A and B are shown apart, each in its own frame.
Chain A
Amino acid sequence: DVKVTQSSRYLVKRTGEKVFLECVQDMDHENMFWYRQDPGLGLRLIYFSYDVKMKEKGDIPEGYSVSREKKERFSLILESASTNQTSMYLCASSLLGGVSPETQYFGPGTRLLVL
């Protein structure tokens, strides 16, 4: 089974702090994604990566950056956390090619509260 793990289930940070959210997948997937989930807005793509050191902006990249130094690890960085970044953050991965390349496997999520 594919396993996607996220470093924290819950985080509480102060406005202006630098925040790191870590995601690790164990199935050698090429694609990795970061989403934020807010009620009524669904899952919105922040960034995705299709290879080591490669990244592309999603729909809402402002205020975020990412890092992918190793294939299995994809980090989301909030350079200066703000209260409007309080949300649930979900990481996902998918295989490049194959029978169903679009199938994304999600981690359990990190609920971030910025005070």
Chain B
Amino acid sequence: QQQVKQSPQSLIVQKGGISIINCAYENTAFDYFPWYQQFPGKGPALLIAIRPDVSEKKEGRFTISFNKSAKQFSLHIMDSQPGDSATYFCAASRGSSNTGKLIFGQGTTLQVKP
């Protein structure tokens, strides 16, 4: 119940294309769903996050779509650029827990070809 399952494990997209990464969770108590971006040699950094009171959140070319009934959420990267090449992690937490613990997905390595 504590798992977050992420797919695909790797993704290759042409420049200008749309990158889509999917995550699924089981625990209905989760109420915060962030995505982290990690460049080679760096630690992950928060990219965008959503709470279940909305079905979509957009920041620039990055959009989270959230489907509460299906217990799924996804990251869409529009007009993908070579600079977006990185590893992406979805995560989930119970914000009310106050420990700040996150359950991370398995990660997706994205390569955007020029």
Contacts and interface: CB of A to CB of B under 8 A. Distances in A.
B111 to A, nearest CB: 15
A42 B107 contact: yes
B79 to A, nearest CB: 26
Interface stretch (A14-22, A62-70, A97-105): A97-105
Give the size category of B's interface with A. Answer: 20 to 34
The DSSP consensus for interface residues of chain A is strand
Contact of A102 (B6, B95, B106): B95
Interface in A43-64: 43-45, 48, 50, 56
Interface residues of A, number: 31
Given A100-B49, A108-B41, A108-B42, A43 B89 contact: yes
Q: Which of A4, A37, A41 has the most CB of B within 10 A?
A: A37
Contacts of B99: 31, 48, 50, 56
Contacts of B101: 33, 45, 48
Interface of A: 4, 31, 33, 35, 37, 39-45, 48, 50, 56, 90, 92, 94-97, 100-109
